[in-house]
Amino acid sequence: MALINEHYLELSENYFYTEMDKRINAFCVTHPKSNLILLGTGDVSQPLPMAVVDAMTEAVKELSQKETFRGYGPGQGYRFLIDKIIKDYQSHGVSLVADEIFVSDGAKTDAANIGHILGRDNIIAITDPVYPVYENATIMSGRAGHQTDNGKWSNIVYLNCLPENGFKPQLPTEKVDVIYLCYPNNPTGATLTRQELKMWVDYALQNHSLIIYDGAYEAYITEKDVPHSIYEIKGAKKVAIEIRSFSKTAGFTGLRCSYTVVPQELVAYTLDDEKVQLNKLWLRRQTTCFNGNSYIVQRGAEAIFSREGKKQVNEKIQYYLTNAEIIRTEFQKLGLQVFGGVNSPYVWTKTPQGENSWKFFQQMLSEINVVTTPGIGFGQNGEGYSRFSGFNSRENTLEAMDRIKHWL
Amino acid sequence: MALINEHYLELSENYFYTEMDKRINAFCVTHPKSNLILLGTGDVSQPLPMAVVDAMTEAVKELSQKETFRGYGPGQGYRFLIDKIIKDYQSHGVSLVADEIFVSDGAKTDAANIGHILGRDNIIAITDPVYPVYENATIMSGRAGHQTDNGKWSNIVYLNCLPENGFKPQLPTEKVDVIYLCYPNNPTGATLTRQELKMWVDYALQNHSLIIYDGAYEAYITEKDVPHSIYEIKGAKKVAIEIRSFSKTAGFTGLRCSYTVVPQELVAYTLDDEKVQLNKLWLRRQTTCFNGNSYIVQRGAEAIFSREGKKQVNEKIQYYLTNAEIIRTEFQKLGLQVFGGVNSPYVWTKTPQGENSWKFFQQMLSEINVVTTPGIGFGQNGEGYSRFSGFNSRENTLEAMDRIKHWL
């Protein structure tokens, strides 16, 4: 008799964004003429940089000709892309070697799959609020324990992020084995300074913990004291995996490309306290359960690092950051408590009367046809908040803020 | 203290093909002038069909313009592609609905990941020889037990495929929960007739087992009594997941696109014997741990089903099948025992004197610079065999067979 993984039954039926899409679609079906503006999801709106387009057009052509056709690529990714990534890290004072970098099809994929090389009995720490994938993957893998009355999971250690601590987590009082950190943060837009991140690296060094550092929004950093990579902190290569993505950097949400750094120095442990290089385990996992990302997409990603590519990418990022700035300023004028939006495309806002975040979502949707992301989707501490994103067009952002201004 | 998944330590250090590549590279370094012909790996050699190239060129252009740009696609895949897949199934008398199909980036990915929705305590059955991913993923997930003296795993049920049974497995004598079947088979090229496949579906229906049916080589079927899909067999939707790939069908090894069918009727069980739809679990897994395949690649895949696309794909398949026929005939003339190559790009050959398959690989590599795949890579029953593939060019295939003829 084929048995299921019963941990799946403990999850809500739909992934959070699937649930949100369902509600939006339901509204669209009953209100086909509404002029909806999506200020919620993390999807980009601007076309691909031309450098990327040109590189991919060329790559498609290559695959059409016998002399230049390529089949299976290296499972870890092509060197032409990996070498560019290494150079980019160098510009932040971090040196990596090629076999420490694994090109993949998405930060979400890697953040979810990384747990497969880790033991079942690790105690996982996540921030609250948090990108839902870390918690979902922890539940699926059977590491979460059982759900308690407050909706939290008995074996997960939640690191509270609240306005009073600037949405920056404090070190846990109990020992934790694996810590997911995402900075610049999704959803709050908060960042950690070098000193603050050092505190986490030191904790991990002392406790032999592993940090899974999600740097998907690294390209949005504008402030000087905010580190671009966890490896800028001394000792981090011994304790941290870093995940990066081209989705928000260069509009790759529909193309799919990311990379994960697993340093050679990084070890985890057997139950007998033997050290094992995680790089070797992840290499085994990726070469066995994955066949590399598309050649065309990797050529597109490579082009991001060209002089033209960098310039074009930077323009898009500035465009989205300006949108975020517009949202932030408008909410501040309206007297709302606002966070993020400086080193991040996301603005994290307290709902005007501290309303329930699904209720606020539903009201805004039906009354002014603007879509936000309800904070509760990111955890209990997200209740009473909404996430707004700068990823729509300038016109739509201005129009949405105008509607909100007259509505609130 | 971060703990590793210790089951990874039970695996050989390298994935089989990684190991093979290492040996080939080592030879190339010491013999830089050798004119190597790869007749081993399953990678294709011919450029992409023009219909695919045109569709992808157009898709890249779409993403360069604001009006036609697309970000995140549906996690399950775009309807334009899914609808074509449904129509293709219809041509074989199988009706499916859209939410039963999940577009992904590779059959390897799905064959490895499908285990995550299944319980840890399932008894897994695999054929021997077998595509190594099924066994590797079973070991990684902790379902394999321990390795015994003969290299087999205590909790895996091996279904012997030998010349005396035409490389077709017999039903297991013990009860098994999950059965991986791959037909047309990699590596042996064997097929199951409708009647033979029905035996497996009936077994699964009787025992509430799950069949994971890998149909990656379906496009190579030439004989009439060989089913193209397991769903041609009555009742199969209740017990089978089917995985298909565009890699060998249309040269997508470097592009990455596949799909997995999880019928609505298909159930597995909780420990309390409650039925659960696997479709819901896989949907949850894919929307949480994956963000859909690249838009460009999905447009390329769609084009395979156009009239031009079908014609072009068929030409490539005939080309590779002719290569396989050349290999098969030549080996027969040389008096070797040969299998496969009729409904499959693979020819499975007994080594001339029953030599150890790595030794035969190494001799052929160093003496005539032809690369084959050692049968032992597919399991204990593969010892003394070699897999040759029809995926190289006609010229190289003829040249390699000429070298072999004079060498043996």
User: Is residue A213 domain-shared with residue A269, that is, in the same domain?
Assistant: yes
pLDDT of res. B41: 77
Q: Among residues A23, A210, A197, A198, which one has the least CA distance to residue A134?
A: A210
pLDDT exceeds cutoff 80 at A41: no
User: Is residue B325 domain-shared with residue B301, that is, in the same domain?
Assistant: no
Asked, for residue A48, whether it belongs to a domain, the answer is: no
Upstream peptide bond of B187 is cis (omega within 30 degrees of 0): yes
Asked, for residue A6, whether it belongs to a domain, the answer is: no
Q: What are phi and psi of B179, to 5 degrees?
A: -125, 120
User: Is residue B294 domain-shared with residue B312, that is, in the same domain?
Assistant: no
Asked if B117's CB is within 8 angstroms of A295's CB, the reply is no
Q: Among residues A301, A340, A248, A343, which one has the least CA distance to residue A42?
A: A248
User: Is residue A365 domain-shared with residue A402, that is, in the same domain?
Assistant: yes
Q: Complex ipTM, two decimals?
A: 0.97
Residue B325 in tokens: 């026929």
Asked, for residue A261, whether it belongs to a domain, the answer is: yes
CA distance A211 to A125: 9
User: Is residue A26 domain-shared with residue A98, that is, in the same domain?
Assistant: no
User: Is residue B89 domain-shared with residue B30, that is, in the same domain?
Assistant: no
Contact B83, B308 (CB under 8 A): no
- Residue B340's SS3 state is strand
Count of residues for chain A?
A: 408
User: Is residue B82 domain-shared with residue B98, that is, in the same domain?
Assistant: yes
CA distance A335 to B225: 73
User: Is residue A381 domain-shared with residue A355, that is, in the same domain?
Assistant: yes
DSSP string, B15-46: -HHHHHHHHHHHHHHH-TT---EE-SS----S
User: Is residue B151 domain-shared with residue B98, that is, in the same domain?
Assistant: yes
pLDDT of res. A285: 97
**Domain closes at, from A282, A305, A328:** A305
Interface test with B, best of A289, A316, A319 (most B CBs within 10 A): A289
Upstream peptide bond of B263 is cis (omega within 30 degrees of 0): no
Q: How crowded is residue B397: how many other Cβ atoms within 10 Å of its Cβ?
A: 25
pLDDT digits (tens, 9 = 90+) for B137-182: 999 999 999 999 888 999 999 999 999 999 999 999 999 999 999 9
- Which of A4, A296, A393 has its CB closest to that of B119? A4
In degrees to the nearest 10, what's the CA dihedral of A206, A207, A208, A212?
A: -100
Q: In the 8-state DSSP scheme, what is residue B259? A: E
pLDDT exceeds cutoff 90 at A57: yes
Q: How confident is the model at residue B387 (pLDDT cuts 50, 70, 90)?
A: very high
pLDDT of res. B265: 98
Asked, for residue B395, whether it belongs to a domain, the answer is: yes
Interface test with A, best of B134, B238, B288 (most A CBs within 10 A): B288
pLDDT digits (tens, 9 = 90+) for B202-239: 999 999 999 999 999 999 999 999 999 999 999 999 99
Comparing alpha-carbon positions, the chain B residue that sits nearest to A391 is B71
| Beta strand pairing call for A156-160 and A124-128 | parallel
* Mean pLDDT in residue range B263-271: 98
pLDDT digits (tens, 9 = 90+) for A221-259: 999 999 999 999 999 999 999 999 999 999 999 999 999
Q: Among residues A317, A320, A352, which one has the least CA distance to residue A337?
A: A352
In terms of pTM, does the model score above 0.95? yes
CB contacts of A137 in chain B (<8 Å) are 288-289
> Mean pLDDT over all residues of chain B?
96
Asked, for residue B1, whether it belongs to a domain, the answer is: no
Residue A202 burial (C-beta neighbours within 10 Å; 0-12, 13-18, 19+):
middle
- Which of A11, A60, A288 has its CB closest to that of B53? A60
Residue A111 in tokens: 């953040």
Asked, for residue A84, whether it belongs to a domain, the answer is: yes
- Which of A5, A64, A73 has its CB closest to that of B50? A64
Asked, for residue A402, whether it belongs to a domain, the answer is: yes
Asked if B292's CB is within 8 angstroms of A71's CB, the reply is no
pLDDT of res. B18: 85
Q: How confident is the model at residue B189 (pLDDT cuts 50, 70, 90)?
A: very high
Q: What are phi and psi of B144, to 5 degrees?
A: -90, -15
- Which of A6, A14, A288 has its CB closest to that of B133? A288
The number of domains in chain A is 2
CA distance A25 to A28: 5
User: Is residue B227 domain-shared with residue B118, that is, in the same domain?
Assistant: yes
Asked, for residue A268, whether it belongs to a domain, the answer is: yes
> Mean pLDDT over all residues of chain A?
96
User: Is residue B190 domain-shared with residue B247, that is, in the same domain?
Assistant: yes
CB contacts of A119 in chain B (<8 Å) are 3-6
Asked if B284's CB is within 8 angstroms of A13's CB, the reply is yes
Comparing alpha-carbon positions, the chain A residue that sits nearest to B257 is A294
Asked if A276's CB is within 8 angstroms of B118's CB, the reply is no
Which CATH number does the domain housing residue B147 bear? 3.40.640.10
pLDDT of res. B202: 98
User: Is residue B177 domain-shared with residue B134, that is, in the same domain?
Assistant: yes
**Domain closes at, from A305, A337, A360:** A305
Which CATH number does the domain housing residue B321 bear? 3.90.1150.10
Comparing alpha-carbon positions, the chain A residue that sits nearest to B279 is A4
pLDDT of res. A35: 93
Nearest CA-CA distance, residue A28 and chain B, Å: 17
pLDDT digits (tens, 9 = 90+) for B254-265: 999 999 999 999
pLDDT digits (tens, 9 = 90+) for A68-90: 999 999 999 999 999 999 999 99
**Domain closes at, from A305, A336, A367:** A305
pLDDT digits (tens, 9 = 90+) for A177-222: 999 999 999 999 999 999 999 999 999 999 999 999 999 999 999 9
pLDDT exceeds cutoff 90 at A151: no
pLDDT of res. B42: 87
Q: B289-299 as b/e, with b when 16 or more CB fall inside 10 Å? A: bbbbbbbbbbb
Q: Domain containing A209: what range?
A: 54-305
CA distance A240 to B2: 11
* Mean pLDDT in residue range B61-66: 97
